[in-house]
Chain A
Amino acid sequence: MSNLLIVLIDGINYAAWLFISAVGLTLIYGVMRVLNVAHASFYSFGCYVAVTLAGFWFSHNYPPYLSFFALFGASFIAGFAIGWILERFLLRYQYAKDEVVILLITYAVFLILDDVLKLVWGVDPYYASEPYELLGNFTIGEMTYPNYYLLMIGSALVLGLGLTYMLKMTHFGKLLVSVIHDREISSAMGINVGRFFSLTFSFGCALAAIAGGITTPTISVVPGLGVDVIVLSFAVVVTGGLGSLPGTALAAIIMGVVRSFCVHYVPQLELFVIFSVMALVLVFRPRGLFSLAEARKI
């Protein structure tokens, strides 16, 4: 098997995970101009919900293949519900403030939620690898890969294409694009911007939680696991262009493949290669690969 093919498979797999982890962050920023640091907590929350449900599911011998729907569905619903509460009772009253202030508020929420997770689940690690092992492996040459990687890549494709379809082809999506471009004009045209904000924030949080749910069968769920995710997600969305879906996808692919190349050929560089890509892109395109054009207001 060609080494380059191995590099590519590993890179695409990592890119899929990066995209799934980052897409909620870019969606919320794109619509609301809110850089949601609490994204990390929603990812962790999704992990804990999924690992708890998986333990319950498999200990009761429920149909194993339905566990995927249960895990991902529960993470999504839990993330959506907490996100809605957060938007409805906290963020809604902050939109008039500066973006940096809102960022700091979401940072505070991140710290609080991280401690809430510890209060609820303690500090012990949990794992639920049954869904990961359930799907078996596939082999290319001498290299064995779990089929769960295909599920992860498929999930990234479904999320990316589904969101693109929703934004481009549906009535709701077109209204949302209008809100993205100019919330004042949209409001003047009769669009309930507050409702879109509420839905977008909840949906973005749900995407973070489902990313955690999808990742859970491959990891051990421990306190603080969201911290690394928010840093990587931030690097991906900034490189792709804050708020840009195709930009996030392209940045995830570039970073995933470059990282995989480093791991295979220059492992010493792995630690900072993702951030090197980000720095390199920002040198030539300070607003990211696919930054949205903004009308200058006079």
Chain B
Amino acid sequence: MFSKKLLVSLVLGASVSAVQAQAPAAPAAAPTEIKIGIVSFLSGPGAAPFGVPARNTAEMLADAFNNAKAPAPYNVKGFGGLPVKLVVIDEAGSPTNVVTEYRNLVQRDKVDIVIGYVSSGNCLAVAPIAEELKTLTLMYDCGSPRLFEESPKKYVFRAVNHATADSVGAALYIKAIKPTAKTYSGINQNYAFGQDSWSDFQGAVKMVLPQLQEKTSQMPKLFAGQYSAEISSLLESKSDVIHSSIWGGDMEAFILQAGPRGLFKQSSVILTGGEVSMFRLGTKIPEGTIIGARGPYGVYAPKSALNDWYRSNVIDRYNAPPNLAAYQMAHTLMATKLAFEKAMAANGGNKPNSDQVADAMRGMTYEGPGGVHKFNLSNGHQATAEMVYGRVKHVNGQIQLVDQKRFAPEQVMPPDGVKAADWMASKK
């Protein structure tokens, strides 16, 4: 009995297999969505100033794209008609862990594109893996100019300025509003970004204001929180200008501790990323403080219908205006959508692969809520935009930024093919 059943099963199975083998192959399922991995700090000190506002913007824009609610040229539903699905993960952890999570996103979760990374260390660690896995990857905030300087990239892009623009813009601003300044000092966090920022600012000063003499450079530990001695040292230096790339809770603690001690009255203090905490601290930021936003973002965004739409949607949904990190995410996501749709059109309306989207993005010009950006450096992989600085003024208990100066992209970013440090050194 058993052997008969087995024989029948084998014969039937063989017949079915033979029929299947002769049948024409079924057409591959048409792609139904585009998956984008969003990586940013969702825990730890980087979450509130950078990660969460950027994540919020990504979610707001994805919903707007999927419902075809965004204004032109972003009014096509989803990405070229394909609904966008975000896979959001936390950037917190060591670079090794971040690389592992990147591989998981690409190989396990099968995302089509990755957008993310605040930390310079993380973006430098992820870039070679993106090239290895041939996955289109856009760094939305990481400021290290080394991203493209060390080796050319095929699948990695940055849709916003790198950090050199912060420093050169700050030096140009000092030249414009305080040309008689004679001395400068700095207080920056003692890690890669803080040291690079200070080094960039030193280079920018030599290029733009060679008469400025350096007095002291304070490098407190990241997340130190206590700055009494550093503030005393800066007060003692009596510097005309103080440069700081401190961010997040450290910047707020520094302002809260240094403000009452008169440091902001004695010196023109530049906070290159000060826009992030501007609305939370309000008039706690002393008058005269020079505030940067890493580009034409936040309050520095130029007036446009697209910017009005973006700001109002973020405020309606999250009850807070978008900060610089949110703008950077918006620009990166919008640039990706445009490049994807351009590649899709060139591909006969079919879903493009990473190579095709990269080809479409390379050298592209696009407009976001922060104005026009061009991918015109590093073989078309690094975008440039204007740089803006302004000074704090208290008006009726509110904070305003006055004396705003805008600097063209070619004033604040190095020419194509020239390393940032070499550019600043060559223009003495």
Contact = CB atoms under 8 A, between A and B. Distances in A.
Asked if chains A and B come from one complex, the reply is yes
B52 interface: yes
**What secondary structure prevails in chain A residues at the interface with B?**
helix
B37 interface: no
Contacts, number: 125
A271 B45 contact: no
A218 B226 contact: yes
Interface string B240-281: 000000001110110011001110000000000000010011
A222 B217 CA distance: 26
Contacts of A263: 218, 229-230, 232-233
A294 interface: no
A123 B52 contact: yes
Interface in A258-273: 259-260, 263-264, 267-268, 270-271
Contact of B223 (A11, A225, A271): A225
Among B48, B51, B232, B250, the one with the most A-chain Cβ atoms within 10 Å of its Cβ is: B232
A224 B223 contact: yes
Contact of A137 (B52, B260, B281): B260
Contacts of A259: 229
Interface in B43-72: 43-45, 47-49, 51-52
Interface string A242-280: 000000000000000001100110011011000000000
Given A132-B256, A220-B252, A264-B229, A125 B223 contact: no
B253 A220 contact: yes
Interface in A215-240: 215, 218-225, 227-228
A222 B45 contact: yes
A186 interface: no
A164 B49 CA distance: 43
B49 to A, nearest CB: 8
B286 to A, nearest CB: 12
Nearest to A136: B260
A264 B219 contact: no
A47 to B, nearest CB: 10
A168 B43 CA distance: 44
Contacts of B233: 263-264, 267
B48 A124 contact: yes
Interface in A110-144: 118, 123-125, 127, 129, 132-133, 137, 142-144
Contact of A228 (B190, B216, B221): B221
A279 B219 CA distance: 22
B249 A220 contact: yes
A123 B42 contact: yes
B228 interface: yes
Contacts of A6: 232, 236
Nearest to A272: B221
B224 interface: yes
Contact of B256 (A14, A129, A137, A222): A129
B48 A125 contact: yes
A113 to B, nearest CB: 14
Contacts of B248: 125, 220, 222
A127 B223 contact: no
A219 B227 CA distance: 10
Interface of A: 3, 6-7, 9-11, 13-14, 17, 118, 123-125, 127, 129, 132-133, 137, 142-146, 149, 215, 218-225, 227-228, 259-260, 263-264, 267-268, 270-271
The 7 A-B residue pairs whose C-beta atoms are closest, nearest first, are A220-B252, A222-B249, A10-B229, A123-B47, A263-B229, A220-B249, A219-B253
23 contacts: A10-B232, A11-B229, A17-B226, A123-B48, A123-B51, A125-B252, A125-B277, A127-B281, A129-B284, A132-B257, A137-B261, A142-B235, A146-B260, A215-B226, A218-B256, A219-B226, A221-B249, A222-B248, A224-B45, A264-B229, A264-B232, A267-B233, A271-B221
